Structures are given as C-alpha cells and as structure tokens.
Amino acid sequence: MSATDYDAISREYQDSKLLPFRKHIEEYTLFDLLGDLRGKSVLDLACGEGIYSRRLALRGAQRVVGVDLSAGMIELAQEKERELPLHIEYQVGDAMHLGAIGAFEVVLGSYLLNYARSKDELLRFCSSIRRNLNPGGRFVGFNDNPANDIQFYDTYRKYGFVKAGRVPRHEGDPITYTIINADGTEFPIENYYLEPSTYEAAFRESGFEAFYWRPLRLSPEGRETFESGFWDDFFAHPPMIGIEAT
C-alpha cells in the first residue's frame, strides 16, 4: 500500500487499534518481547499514528523516534503528542530506504516487514534496521505469519478481520486483510507473502547474528474477559507471529 492509501484510511486504521486482539495479543506479545525499556533508545518503524511510540515512552524509553511513510499517520501522531507531550520525535520516511538517523538500542517494526514484495525489498528493510541499531541491539517485530495456511484465512472474522490470498501461493503474492472495526467500518490492507526461509536469509545476509520466530502470547486480561474458547481459532492457526533478531 502507498502512503496515499494510508492517508485515506488513517482514522479508520487508528480505530482498528481498539480491536481486542490488538491489545490482548499484538501489544502483549510485543511488549513481552521488548522487555525492560527503561532508559533505552527505540526507533519505531511503520509507527502509524504512534500508538506504540507512546507505549514505549510510557514504559520508560529515554528516546523514541517514530517513522512512517504516511504523512496522514504522522499528523495523527503529532496531534497526540500535542495533547499529551511525551517528547517523541516523529518524521515521515520510507523504512525501506531509510538512512542512518540514529544509533538505537531497539528497533520496533509492527507490521513492517510484510510489506516487502520480494527478497530484495526485504533486504532493504533489514539493512535500514541494521543501519540504525547499536552493536548488540535488537529488532522486535509483529508480522503476518507466513506459515498461516490459506485455508484458515476466513476464520478470524470474530476477531475483527479476515484474510484473502491466491491459491496456490507464491512469493510476492498479495495477502489482503479486511479489517472490521467495532462500528462495522471495513477497510483493506495489503501485505505480501514471502517464505519463512526468505525472512531468515534476509536477516542473516543483512548482518544479524540471530533470528527467531516468536509465538503469540495472550494477556491474562484477555483470557479472563472473553468466554472460554474464544481465542482458540486464533492460537490454533496463528494469523500473525512475533519476530526477534539480534
């Protein structure tokens, strides 16, 4: 998707961050992987309207920089910064072609890498991440799960989205998420499929020493708030997955 596409759906995308899976699985998994952020510098790539940039700052990160391709998303993030100043720096930028804008201890990429349509584009993302990490730094991400079997793409409606893709599936094929907000508003987001081995190779070739697929976690609140079995389909065939690289 282009920056203009995201400009057009920036408010709807912001609302989608209120869907239960966002808080109880996505956010919980990410911050479990991130660990103690106190005093650390963090670069938030594909920061959108800044929801995780703000969470990073509130959890004690000393410096937070948010970068997104969409000027509309950055405008929303800056609105929030004016309402509640957290000293977060935001800038419009393309993470695939990002120069060295700092030396960070952590780079966060929530739904960043699944915009790569080829190994070459994925290598560019990985190189941008590596370029902005201190030695020994970490990348933590949340991603479309390339191991998610396409036969289960239509089973996530009760969680606020469905997926669609081509059969048979090949590298570079689109994966379309239709997000369904609580008010019934629907909008599409297009990701792309790459083999798990392509991700692993791209990080290795970009200079990372280790790469891990990290399983999803469910928050205790999410387990207690929803009826027994509500999350079973999500975890039986995880549509997303965590990533960690050092």
pLDDT for 3 equals 41
CATH 3.40.50.150 fits 3-147+194-245, yes or no: yes
CA distance 113 to 181: 24
pTM, 2 dp: 0.92
What per-residue confidence (pLDDT) applies to 8? 58
Parse the chain into domains and list their residue ranges. Answer: 3-147+194-245
CA atoms of 118 and 178, how far apart (whole Å): 22
Strand partners, 67: 45, 91
| 20 vs 218: CA distance, rounded Å | 11
- Digit-by-digit pLDDT tens for the chain (246 residues) are 444 455 556 567 667 788 999 999 999 999 999 999 999 999 999 999 999 999 999 999 999 999 999 999 999 999 999 999 999 999 999 999 999 999 999 999 999 999 999 999 999 999 999 999 999 999 999 999 999 999 999 999 999 999 999 999 999 999 999 999 989 999 999 999 999 999 999 999 999 999 999 999 999 999 999 999 999 999 999 999 999 999
User: Torsion-angle region of residue 95: left (phi > 0), alpha (psi -120 to 50) or beta?
Assistant: alpha
